[in-house]
Chains A and B, each alone.
Chain A
Amino acid sequence: MAAPTLSPARPAPAGPARPRRSGSRAERLAPLALVAPAVLIIAGLRLWPLVLGVNFSFTGDGDRDGVMVGLDNYATLFADPLFRTALRNVGLLVLLLPVAVAIPGLLATLIYLRVPGHRLYRGVYFFPAVLSPVIVGAIFTLLLAFDGPLNGFLGGLGLGPVDWLGDPDVAFFVVVAVHVWATFGMALVVFLAGFATLDQSLLDAAKTDGASFPQTVRHVIVPSLTRTIQFVFVTTMIGMLTSMFGLLYVMTSGGPEGSTYLPEYYIWIQQGRLNQPALASAASTALFLIMLVVGLAQIAILRRAAGKED
Chain B
Amino acid sequence: MKQRTLWSAALVVGLTLTAGCGSASGPGSSTGSSDKLVVWDWKSGDAEAAAYVEKAKADFAKKHPGVTVEFVAQPFDQYYTLLGAAIQAGKGPDVVLFNGGGQIRDRAAALTPIDTYVGDDRQRLAGWDAFTKDGKTYAAPVTLQGHPVYYNKDLYGKAGLDPDAPPKTWDDFVRNCGVIAAKTGAKCLAQGNKEGFGIQFFLSAMGSSVLTPQEYDDWIAGKRDWASADVKRIFELWKQTGDSGLNTDGANSTAMFNDAFALFNSGKAAHVIGLMSDVGHWKDFAEFLTPEKLGVMRAPVVTTAAKPSLPFDGGIGYAVAKWTKDPKLAADLVRSLTSADALKAFYADGGAIASDATIDVSSGGPAVKTIVAEVEAGKPALHVALSSKTLDLMGRLSQQLLSGSATVDDAVAQLAASDKTG
Contact = CB atoms under 8 A, between A and B. Distances in A.
Interface of A: 24, 26-27, 30, 33-34, 36-37, 40-41, 44-45, 62, 65, 82, 144-147, 161, 163-168, 171, 252-253, 255-258, 268-269, 271-275, 277
6 contacts: A37-B13, A82-B396, A164-B253, A257-B405, A273-B80, A275-B388
Contacts, number: 109
B254 A36 contact: no
Contact of A275 (B17, B84, B399, B400): B84
B88 A277 contact: yes
Given A33-B9, A275-B388, A253 B195 contact: yes
Interface in B81-109: 81, 84, 88, 106-107, 109
Contact of B392 (A33, A167, A269): A269
Contacts of A171: 253
A41 B106 CA distance: 36
A256 B422 CA distance: 24
A288 to B, nearest CB: 19
A36 B78 contact: no
Contact of B2 (A27, A37, A82): A27
Contacts of A257: 252, 396, 399-400, 403, 405
B276 interface: no
A34 B405 contact: no
B380 interface: no
Contacts of A147: 249-250
B300 interface: no
B80 A275 contact: yes
A194 to B, nearest CB: 36
Contacts of B244: none
A303 B83 CA distance: 45
A26 B2 contact: yes
B5 interface: yes
A146 B253 contact: yes
Contacts of A24: 2
Given A37-B12, A255-B399, A145 B254 contact: yes
A277 B84 contact: yes
Contacts of A62: 106, 422
B265 to A, nearest CB: 15
Interface in B258-283: 259
B124 interface: no
Nearest to A45: B20
A256 B403 CA distance: 9
A163 B6 contact: no
B251 interface: yes
A273 to B, nearest CB: 6
Interface string B311-333: 00000000000000000000000
Nearest to B17: A40
Which of A34, A258, A268, A269 has the most chain B CB atoms closer than 10 A to its own CB?
A: A258
Given A167-B403, A168-B403, A275-B80, A36 B250 contact: no
B196 A255 contact: yes
Contacts of B422: 62
Contacts of B249: 146-147, 161
Contacts of B358: none
Given A255-B195, A256-B252, A65 B5 contact: no
B9 A163 contact: no
Given A30-B5, A161-B250, 8 more contacts: A37-B16, A40-B17, A145-B254, A252-B253, A271-B84, A272-B80, A274-B388, A277-B88
B253 A30 contact: no
B389 interface: yes
Contacts of B80: 272-273, 275
Interface string B386-422: 0011001001100110010100000000000000001
B286 interface: no
A275 B250 CA distance: 30
Given A255-B399, A275-B388, A36 B106 contact: no
B57 interface: no
A171 B250 CA distance: 13
B111 to A, nearest CB: 13
Which 6 residue pairs spanning A and B have beta carbons closest together?
Answer: A146-B250, A166-B253, A272-B81, A33-B9, A166-B252, A165-B253
